[in-house]
Chains A and B, each alone.
Chain A
Amino acid sequence: MLLMPKISRVLVAFLLMVLVSCGSAPINQSVNDPAESLNRSVHKINRGLDRIALRPASKVYQVVPKPIRAGVSNFASNLKTPGMIINDLIQFKLIDASSNSARFIVNTTAGLGGLFDPASNLGLPERYSDFGETLHVWGVREGPYVELPLFGPSTLRNTIGRMVDFASNPVRLLSETPEQQVYAGTQTLKAIDQRGRFSELVDSIMYDSEDSYAQARLLYLQQRREFLRKTDNKDNKEYIDPYNDVYDK
């Protein structure tokens, strides 16, 4: 009987080792989109929503003075930090976890509840993480590409990640109904602010491109995979060589 806790401890240690030694899932190079026709219909809806709601809202919101918009976005970001710390911890990224923790403490206190971002100036920029990344680190593969209604480009793995992050968000779980609404409200305003800041870029993808679906898909996958490549410390990528492509064949 005395052996039991010891055995279970060994078992836990063993499982952790297996988990870590399994390593990250491979990073895909190509586009895997078996549900393309469904995704394209969702994209059409999203584009319509952007045209009639998000884009005009972002134009209106730009009227609000910049410091106020920045304050709201900072506040929204700060509330996401505890969730990132949890993901850092379960990925065994202890430096990221402590950096994000210090950031959260500084911005919540000195930054007046997160309205300001003094931590970035102190050398504590946000070290982004989410549960989609955690799944990747645990060895779960990317899965097919998905375009989500409202939220836009994603993958199956990231869709699950989003749901887990939402369900397990400590800030949301620890707060009452009115604060939850404030939380949701500031997150929405942050998204509207971002749409405004990147207006030229987003417009060029959504409305100038002849295939906005394919462009959004490529952009999303490239950016997400680059983020995961950084997570895995796999930085040096070999590119397609256009000179070889054109002249040497």
Chain B
Amino acid sequence: MRLVKRTFKNFFILISVIFFSTFCMLTVSQALEKSEAEELIKKISLEVNNIISSTRDESVTIDELESVFKNYADTNIMALTTLGPARRTASSSQLEFFKDSFQIYFLNKYARRFRELRDGEISILSSRPIRSGVEVKTRVHLIDWAPLEVLWLVSDRSGEVKIFNIIIDGINLLSSERVEIGVMLENRNGDIDLLSSSLRGIN
């Protein structure tokens, strides 16, 4: 009877330990995700700060800002999702060319915006899990202007921890680009190669 009791007790302890450790692992792995995402935003903030605080030629500054976002933004997924259903009929070489062209367009359009940051100050407010990753909520301080709320959507589904969307005061970058790329494709009668050349600035 005592043996049964003890076995029961041990079994119960074992089960509890398994439960507890699984629980810990689950929460830890999720917390790691969040902190990893925040780490990325800190890294971006630091690099942007270094670039804009050093007084140099504007074109050099823009080039360097572009390289930051080239490293830390998953422009491939941005390109594919903004292209919409047309990606299903395109050949793989067409898609490669498009992804490449979209990256040039994206960096050229958005990276320069970060010159307007005051001392590159981006303060992290909070983060929360979303589908496919983490949303990091930040406050971005601007020269002569009230601070903006900027949400960075981060994911590791590309194999690396990268940004896949930015939402500035409710304005969703991917939504805007979906509309823009959609209109551009329509204006070119659905010709993806023509669209790609336009995105590269060749008309």
Contact = CB atoms under 8 A, between A and B. Distances in A.
A34 interface: no
Contact of A210 (B113, B165, B184): B184
Given A211-B179, A214-B179, A243-B157, A219 B171 contact: yes
A125 B146 CA distance: 9
Nearest to A242: B81
Contacts of A197: 144-145
B80 A210 contact: no
Interface in B137-173: 144-146, 153, 155, 157, 164-165, 167, 169-172
Contacts of A242: 77-78, 80-81, 132, 164-165, 174
A66 B145 CA distance: 12
B175 A222 contact: yes
A227 B78 CA distance: 26
Given A125-B146, A204-B109, A244-B132, A239 B165 contact: yes
Interface residues on A, range: 20 to 34
A105 to B, nearest CB: 21
A190 to B, nearest CB: 14
Contact of A215 (B78, B81, B176): B176
Contacts of B80: 242, 246
A176 interface: no
Interface residues on B, range: 20 to 34
Which 7 pairs of residues, A with B, have the shortest CB-CB distance?
A: A226-B170, A242-B81, A211-B183, A241-B131, A243-B132, A246-B80, A243-B157
B179 A215 contact: yes
Contact of A223 (B130, B170, B180, B184): B170
A219 B176 contact: yes
A218 B172 CA distance: 9
